[in-house]
Amino acid sequence: MDVKNAQVNFSGNCNESMRDYSEDFLQSIGCPRKYFVAEYKDSLVFDMNCNEEHIGLVWERDISKNNTQKMNQRSCINIGCCPLIEEF
C-alpha cells in the first residue's frame, strides 16, 4: 500500500491534525514517524514525493531558533497514523 498517497478514512481533517501535533506526541501514541525521509547521497533527507495535500512544514526542528536560523523544511506527512489521533 502506498501510505504516502493513501486515502485515509478519518472523521476529521487528518492532514491538518497531523501537521498540528508534534512529532514527539505522535511517537508517544504509537506513530512510528510523522515525516517520511529518503536516502540521498548517503544521507537522509525529508521526502517530498507525495500528493501536495500530504506535505507539511517540519516545524519541530525550528521551534527554538530565531527566524533567520529557521530552515522551514517540508516533508510528506505519515497519514497512516491518522487512526491513532482520531480520539484527540
24-45 pLDDT per residue, tens: 999 999 999 999 999 999 898 9
Q: What is the pTM of this model?
A: 0.79
User: Is residue 81 packed enough to be buried (19+ CB in 10 Å), middle (13-18) or exposed (0-12)?
Assistant: buried
Cα dihedral value 30, 1, 10, 73, nearest 10: 70
* C-beta neighbour count of 23 within 10 angstroms: 15
Distance in angstroms between the alpha carbons of the first and the last residue of the chain: 26
41-74 pLDDT per residue, tens: 989 899 999 999 999 999 999 999 999 999 999 9
The secondary structure element, H or E, covering residue 76 is strand 74-76
